[in-house]
Amino acid sequence: MAHFAALAGLGSYLPPRLVTNAELAARFDTSDEWITSRTGIRTRHWATPGVATSDLAVEAGHRALKSADLPLEPGAVDAVVLATTTPDHPCPATAPQVAARLGLGTIAAYDIAAVCSGFLYALAVASAQIAAGQARRVLVIGAETYSTILNPADRTTSVIFGDGAGAVVLSATPDADRPGVVLGVELGSDGSQQDLIIIPGGGSRERATPGSPDPQGRYFAMQGKKVFAEAVTRMGDSASALLDRVGWPVESLDHLVGHQANIRILAALAQRLGIDEERAVVNVDRVGNTSAASIPLALSDAAAAGTLTAGSRVLLTAFGGGLTWGAAVLTWPHLNVA
């Protein structure tokens, strides 16, 4: 019997510390006016020292399981997939710890590293595990603590990125037409442009030596202008290719949930796709760019606000370091949002 992966639970978590543009303007050579006009961001949340990505992932995962009416016990899900750029440690992966702390037992648990496209990559592999009959239910989490890798000397990245986590439960169904089924996924990459978004140190390119490595290499770096142009083109083209493949005319879409990197990118993306800007879900103003957590956080906010309603056609698309990008489509299901 064929299996399809359907969205069955959704949850999110933001660390409590709210960072305003005014606070950043007191610390960097920047202003509320520059940040709002160039990015649309007004606030973001940053984890306090000592709080790691797994802490946010556990909270969001817990809420998604609750939303799916699943207990915190072995057997609730068959796998945990965690998309992150900011794992608790370079080794091991963070997902096994999250699975253990949620009490989910000794199940498959692994991380996905695709930067801001990570959640869509994780959604793709989790859906494929379900389609292959390897799992009945999978907890898919996007979680980040970018505040731990921001360069304090870089005002541009410091004002853009925020911390947070979002999670979904995917559940197997034999019914391809059931609302919530992930109807299609499109993924892509261009490693020839890896330098546009990079943490240069801390990997095998920089061999571990006695004495600590240059802390400068541990910071996140981005060439914003080039990334902006690539983001609009890649998200637009992958979304168009997917819509063609599943046979959804662009006019039939109810909501565009794009990676929340910059309000101007979301506007340019809507324009490129020929979608009314009103249909674009926006929470970048409140949470900033939360990388792999961006899509599930936007979904969670929009569902809680009543914007995403059962039966609406939803297009997800993301772009990030790698370069990587992707898109997915589904019809929104009835969900309790936690």
Q: What minimum distance in Å lies between the beta carbon of 99 and ligand UT7?
A: 27
Distance CA 57, CA 335 (A): 20
Judged by CB under 6 A, the residue of 76, 116, 182, 308 near ligand UT7 is 116
117 lines the binding site for ligand UT7 (CB under 6 A): no
Q: Interaction with ligand UT7 in 160-179: which residues (CB under 6 A)?
A: 160
Judged by CB under 6 A, the residue of 21, 94, 156, 307 near ligand UT7 is 156
218 lines the binding site for ligand UT7 (CB under 6 A): no
30 lines the binding site for ligand UT7 (CB under 6 A): yes
Active site residue 289: yes
Q: What angle do CA 55, 282, 327 make, to 5 degrees?
A: 80
82 lines the binding site for ligand UT7 (CB under 6 A): no
Active site residue 91: no
38 lines the binding site for ligand UT7 (CB under 6 A): yes
**Three-class DSSP labels, 227-276:** HHHHHHHHHHHHHHHHHHHHCCCHHHCCEEEECCCCHHHHHHHHHHHCCC
* DSSP strand pairing (324-331 vs 313-320): antiparallel
Q: Which is nearer to ligand UT7, 39 or 145 (CB)?
A: 39
CB 235 within 8 A of CB 325: yes
Part in contact with ligand UT7 (CB under 6 A); list of ranges 93-101, 244-252, 261-269, 328-336: 261-269
**Three-class DSSP labels, 173-229:** ECCCCCCCEEEEEEEEECHHHHHHEECCCCCCCCCCCCCCCCHHHHCCEECHHHHHH
Active site residue 259: yes
Q: Which is nearer to ligand UT7, 201 or 224 (CB)?
A: 224
Q: What minimum distance in Å lies between the beta carbon of 283 and ligand UT7?
A: 14
Helix or strand (DSSP H, E) at 119: helix 118-131
What per-residue string of b and e applies to 117-143 under the rule 16 or more CB within 10 Å gives b? bbbbbbbbbbbebbeeeebbbbbbbbb
**Cα 252 vs. chain centroid, distance in angstroms?**
24
Q: What minimum distance in Å lies between the beta carbon of 29 and ligand UT7?
A: 7
CB 265 within 8 A of CB 258: yes
3-class DSSP assignment, residue 35:
helix
227 lines the binding site for ligand UT7 (CB under 6 A): yes
Judged by CB under 6 A, the residue of 1, 91, 210, 225 near ligand UT7 is 225
Q: What minimum distance in Å lies between the beta carbon of 261 and ligand UT7?
A: 4
262 lines the binding site for ligand UT7 (CB under 6 A): yes
> Which residues in this chain contact ligand UT7 in the complex, by CB under 6 A?
30, 34, 38-39, 116, 155-156, 159-160, 224-225, 227-228, 231, 261-262, 265, 289, 291, 319-320
What residues act catalytically? 116, 259, 289
